[in-house]
Amino acid sequence: ASPFRRGSGLDPRTGANSIGAQSWTTGDLIDLNSDYFEFVISPSAGATLDIDCIAFGEFRSASGITEFTLRSSLDDFRSNVIDAPVTVPDDGSTRGHELALGGAFDVIVSSVTFRLYGYRAETANTSRWWIVDHPEIGVFRVSGTATPPELGVVTPEPSAGLIWGLVAGGG
């Protein structure tokens, strides 16, 4: 897995054990080119991943985003991975999310980039949003199954569970 990155339209904001940014779009439409957090998951050579769920925490400032969604590089970030955008309450509480992924992520044999797009911020320049560890799980977690290359497709029980877990670092 890669480190997290911010889109080019965002200004970094520090926070303990998080990645944060400000200057999120205030519009109703996602800024596909610049207002996102992204990370990349890459299977080992010859391995296959079945990614089922992404779990994380998030919180916002008083003027931060009011919606976010998850998209991926599988369709060049054109459609939402989840059924509907997530509405973010107008408070600074940390919320946990477990986003179930569909069948498009059942046979991943090469790198896939995920982007969390934030939008509908209440103000332009001071809108802040942070991604943190899931409050109950304690990590940012990507879960599913992995089939090692030496076992191939005849594996009766691929290893299941945590594909990638990260205890968030600074910045």
User: How many CB atoms within 10 Å of residue 120?
Assistant: 20
* pLDDT tens column, 7-51: 999 999 988 889 999 999 999 999 999 999 999 999 988 899 999
Residue for token pair 């998030």:
58
Residue 160 has pLDDT above 80, yes or no: no
* pLDDT tens column, 63-86: 999 999 999 999 999 999 999 999
Tokens of 88: 């973010």
Judge whether 109 and 48 are in contact, CB under 8 Å: yes
What pLDDT is recorded for position 125? Answer: 87
Phi-psi region of 149 (alpha: psi -120 to 50; beta: other; left: phi over 0): alpha
pTM (2 d.p.): 0.87
